[in-house]
Every structure is written in structure tokens, then in C-alpha cells.
Amino acid sequence: MAGKRKTYGAEFKAKVALGAIRGELTVAELVAKHGVHQTLINTWKRQALEGMSA
């Protein structure tokens, strides 16, 4: 039986991505702090950087 997929708001994504971009914490530390998979953090970080350039 499949569970419901968790969704994250834009504000939360931006907060986590900004933390990854700043480099104050490592991705592993962000994973532990926010309980989000590292692939999501890296995806949000890439999307944020692409959005900044556009």
C-alpha cells in the first residue's frame, strides 16, 4: 500500500536551497536538520541557481 507523497512549499524549498548555496551547513547536515533527502536539496539548489540567472 502506497502512502501519500509529501509536498513542500516554495518558502521551505527556498530556505533549504539558500542554506545549501551559502555553504554554512553541508548537504548532510541539511538532511539531518530538515529531514529531506539529499537529492531534493541538490535539485532545489540547482533550480534556485538557474532561476537567479534567468
* pLDDT value at residue 37: 96
Question: Grid coordinates 532561476 are at which residue?
Answer: 51
Quote the domain boundaries for residue 48.
20-53
Whether 40 is in a domain gets the answer yes
Give me the chain's average pLDDT, please.
92
Residue 46, in any domain of the structure: yes
Residue 14 within any structural domain of the chain? no
Task: Answer whether residue 19 shows pLDDT above 70.
Answer: yes
pTM reported for the whole predicted model: 0.85
- The total of structural domains in the chain comes to 1
